[in-house]
Chains A and B, each alone.
Chain A
Amino acid sequence: MAWTRIRKLAGQVAPIWLAVILLYALAAMISPAMLKPEQVANILQVAAFLGVIATGQTVALLLGGIDLSVAGVVTLTNIVATSVMLGSNDRIPLAILVCLVLSLMVGIVNGVLVTVGRVAPIIATLAMNSVLFGAALIYTDGSPYGAAAPAFKALAEGRIAGVPSSAIWWLAIALALAYVLRRTTFGRWVYATGANGRAAYMMGVPVVAVTIAGYALSSTLAMVGGLLLTAYIGNPSLGIGNPYMLSSIVAVVVGGAALTGGQGSVIATIAGAIFITLLTSLTNIAQVSTGAQFVIQGVLIAASVLLYRTLEIGGQRTM
């Protein structure tokens, strides 16, 4: 029983984890320093920001949608958090509260546009991203100010047993969400809505509420990713979120989520985020330019869609 469960689990999540292991082996061959605990911790540290944001993106893709506004949310969070905190520990709760309210609003508006307004998710969230980026520019008038408070920076800079604390935040969030999606009614509703919204509605699932909640979750996690990033960097920076629009999708897609919704897993996205981060640091070691990294990212999106489709011919995966 236990063995079949392990085997089943292995069969379900293997491809991306296998890819992570192979890539790590390759990285270690090129640069043996990659095996040092310090370097591993570094990878986890950098992967954490992408990991949290991609966890939210997974929910949007599971619903059969997409959330391109995560980039704008991350940027705005960074700008707002630093400008509200102004480097003072007392103002941390207020900063977090403001960011939380903002991200919830963004997510709910996205969800309402997609469900009630029947706007295609790609257009709704692309437009929302533009609005958020514009808002960040207007708010700062192009020159951001403020700084993260010392106590806030500890959130991301600390280590627990050698593991960066932002990585611990990330894994805790991802595992909790994986549990919610797999083992609670709400999670099943998300999968059902994404797989076949019409059938879910006919089975009494409140699809509109589930979809809105899903987009709210996506925005909120993008906000959390933005806070961790802010804690790590300590300064405001316009456009800090921009790379995450694409990379969060790449992480989910290499994790094997079906783009049509209803198939995919947050656990696989953890591996996806590690994979992307490893690949980036590998290309850094190889001194590949930023441009080439974008090229690789683009090829990776198309290749993983095709690869997972080929794998599916052998048997449907449910996780």
Chain B
Amino acid sequence: MSERPTITPQQPARSAGPVLELRGISKRFGSFEALKAADFTCLAGEVHALMGENGAGKSTLMRIVCGLMKPSAGTISVDGREVLIDSPVTAAALGIAMVHQDTRLVPDLSVARNIWLGREPGGPFGLDLASMADDAAALIAQLGVEIDPARPVYSLSVAERQIVEIARALTIEPRVLILDEPTSALDGAEIANLFAIVDRLRQRGTAVIFISHRIPEVFSVADRMTVLKDGSIVGTVTRSEVTHDGLVSMMVGRSVEFAYPPRGKADGEVRLSVAGLSSGSALADVGFEVRAGEIVGLGGIQGNGQSDVARALFGVLPAQGRIAIDGQSYLPHNPAKAIRNGLIYIPGDRHAEGLFMGHSVRENTSLPHLPDWFGLGVISRSRENAVTADAMARFATKAESAEAPVSSLSGGNQQKVVLGRWTAADPKVFIFEDPTRGVDVGAKLEIYRQIRALADAGAAVLLVASDLMELIGLSDRILVFSRGRIVDEMRGEDGTEERIVGAATGVGEQTAGPAGTTQPQPVTKVSTGELFWSRYTGAVLLAALIVVLFGVTSYVSPFFFTPANLSNVATQVAPLALVALGQFVVMLVRGIDLSVGPVMSLVTAIVSYLAVADSGLDTTTTILVCLAVGLLVGLINAALTVWLRIPDLIATLATYSLFYGVVLIVRPAPGGLVSLSFIDTIGAQFGWVPAAAVASVLMYILAEACLIRGRIGQRLYATGSAPEAAAAIGIRPALVRSAAYVFCGLMAAAAGLVLAARIGSGDPQAGSAYTLSSITAVVIGGTSVFGGRGTAVATLLGAIAVGVMQNALNLMHVSAYWQYVWTGLLTLLAVSAYSMRLPRRAGPA
């Protein structure tokens, strides 16, 4: 205990009335009552711990306070005045800020930009970047740490991200600061630093709500504690009037022993033996054995290697070490091999990794056994049905039938489907991770009984549980992890929360971790050069490519570098550049617009009717009509994708067909003669330089400036990079995405105008190649198809590269047909090259 960071007890700095008062807050999700008339009061200058087991309702209550959820009933008062908090923006205006457990930062933006996101200083088109950086550095320094505000957030450690989130919360000078399980991913030194920060905030009179289920931590930091259980408030106590045991009994409210099945004898043969298991900075020389009939719990603070052991054994996390199952040496490679060797891993995140929600119980049960039972061939329905019925009977799974989709089952029954699936065969080693996450109490007991039954039947069981009570109650033996090492081992009956947490956090000061996480990290400063390079890699590569193209082509064909030809190139590039800018903005927010090609054709058709010699409309009116069409197109695309939530690809494929149909109705074959005044206006030239090309370049410069210095740029990157994070700050991703589609529609219309002036008539096929080539221009500039990353400059260079290449091949007398081939190949090459560069996720996504 003594080596854990503590704060000297202190009276609340200012004894004032309650800052925040919640009365009778209830929240229902369908038939599930997450909160039942909860009352909660928080005073200025106090650290108030909100405690309870997983699923007790802590996070739900706090989400209501900061405007991310609406309560079903109840009132909230701030400073004694009743308020309605309907969005994160309202909450911020009232001085309420929350630091989320899974940090809500935008990975692709810098620290300073994240801190000020949503309330940037300076005008909408002139962010005060210097003061953003200075103030961010000052805020971070206030917290007693140093982080370069220019660093992108994706390069930060978890602890650093948390600091940045706290700094961001401080920008609104919060009256109430909510920290949601802030220590879950921190090591001892980092926790000590965090507690020092909390203490500083308390002294400034901020009310800090500290959500945690770690008792020792709470005792060292909180003035008062409120305990939640199953959605109800059990009580509020001050630190001096409660003991550890008292708090535990408030939280669990039942005898710990009662819930768990009796332990086994665990004296079988060794089934699983692991020695010298290491993996990067995650695991260091881990070794242990598990016997038949034994349940071994892996405990400690979350994220200290427990789950990594499971993933390494299952072949999902690359690792080195000696592993044997039943004495047979086993080298993990992938899940398929692990399963063949009788080693099963049941991940905690059922929805992401364990179930096929729309598929039936039967299909979910039999999937991993199919090759075993039937090879690659025909499935015997009767055997499949029998196995499923048996699995459902053994676990008393409640489902309408074996054909019901698992999405219609409760959390507990879903977990029973997972258990039934794996026990349909006879594995040797089971690894459970948080087997009762999101499961109600009744089903929990049943699952505990079943896990024990598996061990009793002779399996070796590894249990990774973030709920320490569960770990202690179920395990025969507990291994405590800290920074990738086993630091303590105890028998299950000797385990206490204090001992496990103590062992997990206490050793930090004595031994260095595998990656040296305890040493103060040298402050990483990023130079302007690095920043430039990381933003403009694609642009620089493309610029080089263009220079090479210029060189080679001028060498082969002297005509290339003449004003006449360069003018020609610029005329060709202008429409592509314009439409690519629209496509770029849409792709920046994770969308795609396939309809741009037909829209460009449509505009040429409209121009060929409106701007005809003698009888036509004047050029300005024609331009305005066409831009209005572009606006309408953008609104239709936005309506389908954003409001009706049709996937972007399918929605714009539908509008592709729609607008193409409209062009064919309007102008079934090329025709119409565009007036000379229109051609002269749109196709005007400054010397040999076409005005449209100049306008395109200016548009790009403007766009790049907006991306760097404009609020709109911040919103686009945030929406594309992390929509949930953007929404948590009060940015409305739906609005940003709609705006992107509208902009793209306008740009497609503008490109269509330029194209009409060039070809001088209406043509239903004029724009058809631009759907792909606009995407090509965007992706060869390095814009990520997953959104949030990319620059306008690189897109312009992409468009230029495509245009120059086309021209160069023409001059070299290469058939125009080749253009289809090389645009396709260039796109494929660029996208695969750039996507390989992005950090890999574990296993195929």
- Residues of chain A at the chain B interface (Cβ within 8 Å): 8, 66, 113, 115, 117-120, 122-124, 126-131, 133-135, 137-138, 141-142, 183-186, 188-189, 191-192, 195-208, 246, 249-250, 253, 258-260, 262-263, 289-302, 305-306, 316, 318
Q: Which segment of B457-465, B542-550, B828-836 sits at the interface? A: B828-836
B689 at the interface (CB under 8 A from A): no
Do the beta carbons of A295 and B817 come within 8 Å of each other?
Answer: no
Residue-wise interface mask of B (398-409) relative to A, using a CB-CB cutoff of 8 A (1 in contact, 0 not) = 000001010110
Chain B proximity of A178: nearest CB distance (Å): 13
Taken together as a complex, chains A and B put the C-alpha atoms of A305 and B664 apart, in Å, by: 25
Residues of chain A within 8 A of B657, CB atoms compared: 246, 250, 294-295, 297-298, 301
Taken together as a complex, chains A and B put the C-alpha atoms of A283 and B650 apart, in Å, by: 24
Taken together as a complex, chains A and B put the C-alpha atoms of A129 and B772 apart, in Å, by: 10
Do the beta carbons of A202 and B335 come within 8 Å of each other?
Answer: yes
Which 9 pairs show the lowest CB-CB distances between chains A and B?
Answer: A134-B820, A294-B661, A291-B664, A298-B658, A295-B661, A298-B657, A291-B665, A117-B832, A130-B824
Q: Which segment of B177-185, B272-280, B346-354 sits at the interface? A: B346-354
Taken together as a complex, chains A and B put the C-alpha atoms of A290 and B665 apart, in Å, by: 8
A138: which of B651, B666, B817 is its contact (CB, 8 Å)? B817
Do the beta carbons of B649 and A122 come within 8 Å of each other?
Answer: yes
Taken together as a complex, chains A and B put the C-alpha atoms of A35 and B513 apart, in Å, by: 80
Closest residue of chain B to A300 (Cβ to Cβ) is B654
Most buried by B among A201, A299, A306: A201
Taken together as a complex, chains A and B put the C-alpha atoms of A124 and B832 apart, in Å, by: 9
Told that A127-B825, A198-B845, A294-B660 touch, could you supply 18 new A-B pairs with CB distance under 8 A?
A123-B779, A131-B820, A196-B356, A202-B335, A246-B657, A259-B650, A292-B665, A295-B658, A295-B661, A295-B662, A298-B654, A298-B657, A298-B659, A298-B660, A302-B640, A302-B651, A305-B650, A316-B407
Taken together as a complex, chains A and B put the C-alpha atoms of A256 and B823 apart, in Å, by: 33
Do the beta carbons of A291 and B662 come within 8 Å of each other?
Answer: yes
Do the beta carbons of A118 and B835 come within 8 Å of each other?
Answer: yes
Residues of chain B within 8 A of A253, CB atoms compared: 650
Taken together as a complex, chains A and B put the C-alpha atoms of A66 and B647 apart, in Å, by: 12
Residue-wise interface mask of B (357-369) relative to A, using a CB-CB cutoff of 8 A (1 in contact, 0 not) = 1111001001110
B124 at the interface (CB under 8 A from A): no
Taken together as a complex, chains A and B put the C-alpha atoms of A141 and B815 apart, in Å, by: 8
Offer 12 A-B interface pairs, CB within 8 angstroms, sorted by A.
A134-B820, A138-B817, A138-B818, A191-B363, A195-B358, A196-B357, A198-B844, A201-B334, A203-B367, A204-B368, A298-B661, A316-B405
Do the beta carbons of B335 and A204 come within 8 Å of each other?
Answer: yes
Residue-wise interface mask of B (781-820) relative to A, using a CB-CB cutoff of 8 A (1 in contact, 0 not) = 0000100000000000000000000000000000101111
Do the beta carbons of B367 and A205 come within 8 Å of each other?
Answer: yes
Do the beta carbons of A299 and B658 come within 8 Å of each other?
Answer: yes
Residues of chain B within 8 A of A208, CB atoms compared: 844
Interface size, B (range): 35 or more
Most buried by B among A123, A129, A138, A191: A123
Residues of chain A within 8 A of B843, CB atoms compared: 198, 201-202
Residues of chain B within 8 A of A203, CB atoms compared: 335, 339, 367-368
Taken together as a complex, chains A and B put the C-alpha atoms of A306 and B650 apart, in Å, by: 12
Do the beta carbons of A131 and B821 come within 8 Å of each other?
Answer: yes
B624 at the interface (CB under 8 A from A): no
Residues of chain A within 8 A of B815, CB atoms compared: 137-138, 141
Q: Known: A123-B827, A298-B656, A299-B658. Is A184-B845 also a contact (CB below 8 A)?
A: no
Q: Known: A134-B819, A204-B336, A298-B661. Is A118-B832 also a contact (CB below 8 A)?
A: yes
Do the beta carbons of A115 and B821 come within 8 Å of each other?
Answer: no
Residues of chain A within 8 A of B377, CB atoms compared: 184-185
Do the beta carbons of B661 and A130 come within 8 Å of each other?
Answer: no
Q: Known: A122-B592, A207-B844. Is A184-B376 also a contact (CB below 8 A)?
A: yes
Residues of chain B within 8 A of A195, CB atoms compared: 356-359
Residues of chain B within 8 A of A199, CB atoms compared: 352-356
B379 at the interface (CB under 8 A from A): yes
Residue-wise interface mask of B (365-387) relative to A, using a CB-CB cutoff of 8 A (1 in contact, 0 not) = 01110110011111101000000
Residue-wise interface mask of B (101-112) relative to A, using a CB-CB cutoff of 8 A (1 in contact, 0 not) = 000000000000
Taken together as a complex, chains A and B put the C-alpha atoms of A133 and B821 apart, in Å, by: 8
Do the beta carbons of B661 and A127 come within 8 Å of each other?
Answer: no
Taken together as a complex, chains A and B put the C-alpha atoms of A122 and B653 apart, in Å, by: 11
Chain B proximity of A234: nearest CB distance (Å): 25
Closest residue of chain A to B640 (Cβ to Cβ) is A302
Do the beta carbons of B820 and A137 come within 8 Å of each other?
Answer: yes
Do the beta carbons of B828 and A124 come within 8 Å of each other?
Answer: yes
Do the beta carbons of B844 and A120 come within 8 Å of each other?
Answer: no
Q: Known: A117-B831, A199-B354, A202-B354. Is A126-B660 also a contact (CB below 8 A)?
A: no
Residues of chain A within 8 A of B646, CB atoms compared: 302, 305-306
Do the beta carbons of A128 and B359 come within 8 Å of each other?
Answer: no
A292: which of B659, B661, B820, B836 is its contact (CB, 8 Å)? B661
Chain B proximity of A138: nearest CB distance (Å): 5
Q: Known: A122-B649, A123-B785. Is A289-B665 also a contact (CB below 8 A)?
A: yes
B775 at the interface (CB under 8 A from A): yes
Residues of chain B within 8 A of A137, CB atoms compared: 815, 817, 820
Do the beta carbons of B378 and A202 come within 8 Å of each other?
Answer: no
Closest residue of chain A to B649 (Cβ to Cβ) is A122
Residue-wise interface mask of B (652-677) relative to A, using a CB-CB cutoff of 8 A (1 in contact, 0 not) = 01111111111111101000000000
Do the beta carbons of A188 and B367 come within 8 Å of each other?
Answer: yes
Taken together as a complex, chains A and B put the C-alpha atoms of A96 and B158 apart, in Å, by: 58
Residues of chain B within 8 A of A258, CB atoms compared: 358
Taken together as a complex, chains A and B put the C-alpha atoms of A195 and B654 apart, in Å, by: 23
Residues of chain A within 8 A of B776, CB atoms compared: 127
Q: Known: A119-B831, A191-B359, A316-B405. Is A294-B658 also a contact (CB below 8 A)?
A: yes
Q: Known: A113-B832, A259-B647. Is A198-B821 also a contact (CB below 8 A)?
A: no
A123: which of B335, B338, B831 is its contact (CB, 8 Å)? B831
Chain A proximity of B576: nearest CB distance (Å): 15
B316 at the interface (CB under 8 A from A): yes
Do the beta carbons of A117 and B836 come within 8 Å of each other?
Answer: yes
B130 at the interface (CB under 8 A from A): no
Residue-wise interface mask of B (259-289) relative to A, using a CB-CB cutoff of 8 A (1 in contact, 0 not) = 0000000000000000000000000000000
Taken together as a complex, chains A and B put the C-alpha atoms of A113 and B827 apart, in Å, by: 11
Residues of chain B within 8 A of A142, CB atoms compared: 817
B345 at the interface (CB under 8 A from A): yes
Most buried by B among A113, A135, A142, A185: A185
Q: Known: A197-B845, A291-B662, A294-B664. Is A263-B827 also a contact (CB below 8 A)?
A: no
Taken together as a complex, chains A and B put the C-alpha atoms of A309 and B316 apart, in Å, by: 35
B644 at the interface (CB under 8 A from A): yes
Do the beta carbons of B832 and A263 come within 8 Å of each other?
Answer: no
Do the beta carbons of A318 and B403 come within 8 Å of each other?
Answer: yes
Chain B proximity of A35: nearest CB distance (Å): 29
Residues of chain B within 8 A of A138, CB atoms compared: 815, 817-818, 821
Do the beta carbons of B649 and A66 come within 8 Å of each other?
Answer: yes
Chain B proximity of A210: nearest CB distance (Å): 10
Do the beta carbons of A127 and B818 come within 8 Å of each other?
Answer: no
Do the beta carbons of B656 and A306 come within 8 Å of each other?
Answer: no
Q: Known: A127-B827, A296-B661, A298-B655. Is A262-B358 also a contact (CB below 8 A)?
A: yes
Residues of chain B within 8 A of A133, CB atoms compared: 820
Closest residue of chain A to B826 (Cβ to Cβ) is A127
Residues of chain B within 8 A of A185, CB atoms compared: 370-371, 374-377, 379
Residues of chain A within 8 A of B661, CB atoms compared: 290-298
Residues of chain A within 8 A of B835, CB atoms compared: 117-119
Residues of chain A within 8 A of B665, CB atoms compared: 289, 291-292, 295
Residues of chain B within 8 A of A188, CB atoms compared: 363, 366-367, 370, 379
Residues of chain A within 8 A of B649, CB atoms compared: 66, 122, 259
Closest residue of chain A to B368 (Cβ to Cβ) is A203
Taken together as a complex, chains A and B put the C-alpha atoms of A292 and B367 apart, in Å, by: 45
For chain B, residues 292 to 338, give those with C-beta under 8 angstroms from any C-beta of chain A. 314, 316, 334-336, 338
Chain B proximity of A176: nearest CB distance (Å): 12
Residue-wise interface mask of B (623-647) relative to A, using a CB-CB cutoff of 8 A (1 in contact, 0 not) = 0000000000000000010001011
Most buried by B among A119, A124, A208, A289: A119
